[in-house]
Structures are given as structure tokens and as C-alpha cells.
């Protein structure tokens, strides 16, 4: 059957987003989707044990008040400035539906998170891709390049490159660009700083955060938006009525409140990132400076990135490879546990040394 003819043309025309693989193979070293290799805070387990299962007969709190309060305390804002979501992908969907018209224009950097153009296409909008410079540097005249777009989405630290635009660069974009500036802070937990202090200064600035990476809760599905209270009130109209389930609200609140755990875990991931980056450089690879929980790595010639990823895959080490003119020369490597990274480095050393 030709199912496409039933769909809106915008949907029939696109391939859709390709998520990283989630194979269930025992012994696999999974360095392909930027999850945490560590279990989440023990406070999450306590909250799960203490959760009131009988309460599941009722719908959840539509605004996830406990998540809102915990997130507001973290960013230094008010609960009315927080929208809890079913992961950052839900936040981004709500933002695009709210601020990008059918037939409209949204702008993002390239390379960046590959979901952004897909969300624009689903909306029936154009996605204007603004190319990063040499060595993935950020273009100086960003607002001019974004032009008449109604929404500009940035990713800080950027994925899959790992580099970070200066805070002043974001502030300048907020001043010069007439529409909404979204900064996707999925990896901000691993970075030296974040954009939270800019939100009170710029009413068109919207931050998205997630518990999937730093908090080791990719399976829970929780993220939040931080912005002006008026914008949040508008976004509430667009979200699903009960977009964050009851258990996620309970467990996510416990995780957000355990900042000691977050600090300790992030310190481990950062130490791994420095060690692995230095080791790869010593082996001859080119490694972009990263403030995230992954490295963007170009293997030494003559080894091609796709062949490198494939050879590691045969050794049950999974990386993420993005084909394409610029990304295709690199692989993205999530930081795993220390033993996992030792295995990855040993295999890389062997592959780099082959004639
Ligand atoms: C992982 C990731 C997300 C999605 O996070 P979820 O909360 O798991 O949906 C959003 N943006 C970027 C840049 C990411 O890498």
C-alpha cells in the first residue's frame, strides 16, 4: 500500500530522525548515545521504593510542581519560569510548535543536534542551517545569518562537536535577533558555565535542560525549559496535558535535589574526558576541545572515520558516526567507565597502528 498518500506532504517527504542504536547485546561497550555509564543517584532508588503506587490511579500533576520548584532553585528563577517536559526532545517539539509557523523559518547551526532540522520539517517549516567555521568555530554574524527566522536554536556545549560558544556570543545573539533564541543545554552539566544568569536579562532567551545525560536518567524521560514566565505560560497551552508522568515527577525531583551526587559524577566524567582526549592525541588522532561528556575524534590518516567506527563495532565497541561532508571525518565517542575507555583506547591504538 502507498501509505504516504494519506500523510501531510511535509511528513511524507521526510525521512525522520534517526536515534542512536540501542542494541541489547551483553558485553557491549556502548559509547554511542551520550548516556551516563554510571547508575543515577541512590536518592532516586529511595524515592522509587517510597513512591505511592496506589496514587497511580490518578493523573499526574499537570505542571509537575515539585520538579518546577527543584529546577527553579537550581537555575535561580521562579517556579513559574519552569516548564517540565518528557525529556528535552519534548521541550524542543513544544518550542518549535509554539514559535515556528507552517511555512515559516527556523535557524540552527550545522553541524549541531540533528533533531532540529527534523522538527522544522515536521512543522512544514524551512530550517536555515548556518555553517560552523573551520575547526567548528561559531560564525560572528549569527543574527544576520538567521535573518527572518522566528526561532534560532543553539546548542551549548554543541553536539556533536563538544565546543562551547562564549556567553557573550549568546547574549549578543539575544540582543541582535528579533525572534526566540533557544539554547539547548543538554550537556551544560559537564561544562565550565551555563546561560542561566542570562535569562532574566533577555526575555527572548529560552534554555532547555535534561536529566538524560549528567543525571544518568535517560530512561526516566525528564527535561525542563527555563524562560520568562510569560513565555512559559504560552508553552503550557501547547504541551500535552500530562506530559510528565507521576513516577518521573517523584524520581526526577529526588535527582535534582541531589547536587552532591551530580558534582561527584560530573567530576569523574570530566576526568575521563581529559585522560581519553590526551591519550587519543598521543596516538595521533585529532580531538576537538570538549566541555561535554563525549569527544569528537578524527582518526589519523589513512584510517577513515567510517572504517574506524566499523572496526570497533566488530570488537563490540559502539560509537556514533554521522555521515556527511564535515561530520563524516569524525566519530563521536561517549565517555564510558574507566575500564570501558581502557578497552576503547587499546583497540584504537591497534587500529591506528595498522599500515
Ligand atoms: C541528548 C540530547 C537531547 C535529548 O535529551 P532527552 O532529554 O533525552 O530527550 C537534546 N539535545 C541534545 C543536544 C542532546 O544531545
Expressed in angstroms and rounded, the spacing between residue 104 Cα and the centre of ligand 1 is 24
Q: Is the distance from the beta carbon of residue 327 to the nearest atom of ligand 1 less than 6 Å?
A: no
pLDDT digits (tens, 9 = 90+) for 110-166: 999 999 999 999 999 999 999 999 899 999 999 999 999 999 999 999 999 999 999
Q: Is the distance from the beta carbon of residue 226 to the nearest atom of ligand 1 less than 6 Å?
A: no
Q: What pLDDT is recorded for position 354?
A: 73
Phi, psi of 345 (to 5 degrees): -70, -40
Expressed in angstroms and rounded, the spacing between residue 215 Cα and the centre of ligand 1 is 12
- In which element (H, E) is residue 208 found? strand 205-210
Which CA distances in Å does 225 have to 7, 204, 210? 31, 13, 9
Q: Is 26 exposed, middle or buried (0-12, 13-18, 19+ CB in 10 A)?
A: exposed
Which has the closest alpha carbon to 203: 180, 170, 185, 177?
A: 180
Expressed in angstroms and rounded, the spacing between residue 250 Cα and the centre of ligand 1 is 21
CA atoms of 208 and 191, how far apart (whole Å): 15
pLDDT digits (tens, 9 = 90+) for 191-227: 999 999 999 999 999 999 999 999 999 999 999 999 9
Edge to edge, the sheet with strand 205-210 lists 82-85, 223-226, 205-210, 180-184, 151-155, 105-110, 126-131
For residues 177 and 142, is the Cβ–Cβ distance under 8 A? yes
Expressed in angstroms and rounded, the spacing between residue 351 Cα and the centre of ligand 1 is 31
pLDDT digits (tens, 9 = 90+) for 72-113: 999 999 999 999 999 999 999 999 999 999 999 999 999 999
Which has the closest alpha carbon to 188: 75, 322, 264, 90?
A: 75
Output the CA torsion 58→63→67→71 (10° steps): 180
Q: Is the distance from the beta carbon of residue 212 to the nearest atom of ligand 1 less than 6 Å?
A: yes
Which has the closest alpha carbon to 235: 102, 109, 80, 355?
A: 80
Q: What pLDDT is recorded for position 199?
A: 98
Write out the three cell numbers for 335.
565517555
Amino acid at each position: 500500500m502507498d501509505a504516504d498518500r494519506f500523510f501531510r506532504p511535509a511528513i511524507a517527504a521526510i525521512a525522520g530522525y534517526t536515534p542512536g542504536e540501542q542494541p541489547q547485546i551483553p558485553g557491549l561497550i556502548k559509547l554511542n548515545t551520550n548516556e551516563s555509564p554510571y547508575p543515577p543517584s541512590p536518592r532516586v532508588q529511595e524515592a522509587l521504593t517510597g513512591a505511592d503506587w496506589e496514587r497511580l490511579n490518578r493523573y499526574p500533576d499537570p505542571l509537575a510542581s515539585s520538579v518546577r520548584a527543584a529546577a527553579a532553585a537550581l537555575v535561580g528563577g521562579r517556579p513559574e519560569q519552569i516548564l517540565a517536559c518528557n525529556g528535552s526532545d519534548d521541550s524542543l517539539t513544544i518550542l518549535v510548535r509554539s514559535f515556528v509557523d507552517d511555512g515559516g523559518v527556523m535557524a540552527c547551526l550545522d553541524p549541531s543536534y540533528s533533531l532540529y532540522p527534523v522538527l522544522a520539517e515536521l512543522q512544514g517549516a524551512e530550517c536555515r542551517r548556518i555553517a560552523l567555521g573551520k575547526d567548528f568555530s561559531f560564525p560572528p554574524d549569527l543574527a544576520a545569518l538567521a535573518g527572518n527566522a522566528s526561532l534560532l536554536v543553539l546548542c551549548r556545549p554543541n553536539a556533536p562537536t563538544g565546543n562551547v560558544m562564549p556567553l557573550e556570543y549568546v547574549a549578543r545573539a539575544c540582543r541582535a535577533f528579533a525572534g526566540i533564541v533557544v539554547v539547548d543545554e543538554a550537556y551544560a552539566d559537564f561544562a565550565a558555565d551555563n546561560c542561566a544568569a542570562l535569562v532574566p536579562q533577555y526575555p527572548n532567551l529560552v534554555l532547555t535542560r535534561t536529566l538524560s545525560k549528567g543525571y544518568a536518567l535517560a530512561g526516566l524521560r525528564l527535561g525542563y525549559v527555563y524562560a520568562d514566565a510569560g513565555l512559559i505560560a504560552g508553552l503550557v497551552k501547547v504541551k500535552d496535558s500530562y506530559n510528565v508522568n507521576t513516577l518521573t515527577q517523584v524520581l526526577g525531583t529526588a535527582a535534582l535535589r541531589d547536587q552532591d551526587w551530580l558534582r561527584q559524577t560530573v567530576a569523574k566524567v570530566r576526568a575521563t574526558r581529559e585522560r581519553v582526549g590526551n591519550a587519543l592525541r598521543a596516538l595521533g588522532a585529532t580531538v576537538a576541545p570538549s566541555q561535554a561528556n563525549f569527544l569528537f575524534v578524527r582518526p589519523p590518516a589513512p584510517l577513515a572515520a567510517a572504517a574506524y567506527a566499523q572496526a570497533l563495532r566488530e570488537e563490540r565497541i559502539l560509537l556514533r558516526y554521522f555521515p556527511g561532508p564535515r561530520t563524516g571525518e569524525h566519530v563521536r565517542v561517549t565517555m564510558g567507565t574507566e575500564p570501558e575507555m581502557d578497552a576503547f583506547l587499546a583497540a584504537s591504538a591497534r587500529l591506528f597502528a595498522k599500515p
